[in-house]
Amino acid sequence: MGKARRKEREGVENTTSGDSKLYLEAPVLERKLLTELDMRMLVDLPAGLDYNEWLASHTMALFDHVNLVYGTVSEFCTTTGCPDMTGPSQRTYLWFDEKGKKTRVAAPQYIDYVMTFIQKTISDENIFPTKYANEFPSSFESIVRKIIRLLFHVMAHLYAAHFKEVVLLGLHSHLNLTFAHLTALHHRFSLIEPKETEVLRDLEIALRLTDDGSQESTSNAGDQHLQQTDSAADNTDSDSKNQVEESADFFSILNMFFNSRRLSKLKEFKANNFLGGEQKS
């Protein structure tokens, strides 16, 4: 009994036969706007672009979209209906405060904590700088990992507890697209532990975001993005210019997702690095 309770507190999956997964039914497995190729282009780090800047852009975009979808169904997420913060297969999430203390709270309270923490973090110029000359902190990637993990928890709860309402409001394709975006970013840069994402592994497969039965292809993603960043910084020839300029709709796609302040900074970077400006070292 003690071991079972301990696993539940740690957020380990507790499968029950009555766990309904409406989100896996064929009629709701749609994600509009982007093809798989577009999604890969969306998350691939452009040559010459700072890795932290790229992560910041995607993190803010995902926050905006998850917050938007949850806001439309938040009236259905109550302390009575959702006394625990749960995901698929009865996965339970506990909130960790600033001192590392674990607290079991109702889903709306947990999500309020998440959104408040993220909003405060991304609004901090010392963590998410919007001015070109400002530097990201050395701990930036770990902060992003925490944010992406927390956003995944919110999405897991939306799929497990409120997908019916999402469908009734006609927002399932938007939610699926946001999930595809988060999943593509995670797969590209290995941002979330596999034990976290396994609860929605079946949705990844159903949406064809990953191959059935295959292993996570992200074990070396951290090394890969560092290599790409290093090589991009040294690549000042015309090829680096063409990589961005050949995609005429590159920023049209980004406009669908990115926060306007972040997108302005990306465009400034593009102008300085690819359209006649000096390559930053």
Detail the residues annotated as belonging to a binding site for Zn(2+): 77, 82, 157, 162
d(CA 79, CA 132): 43
d(CA 112, CA 71): 11
Nearest to 166 by CA among 69, 75, 80, 78: 69
For residues 79 and 161, what is the distance between their CA atoms, to the nearest angstrom? 13
- With 0-12 / 13-18 / 19 or more C-beta atoms within 10 angstroms meaning exposed / middle / buried, residue 163 is buried
How far is it, in rounded angstroms, from Cα 66 to Cα 178? 7
Instruction: Name the residue among 14, 174, 144, 154 with its Cα closest to residue 70.
Output: 154
For every residue of 17-30, which 3-state class applies, written as one string?
Answer: CCCCCHHHCHHHCC
Report the binding-site residues: 77, 82, 157, 162
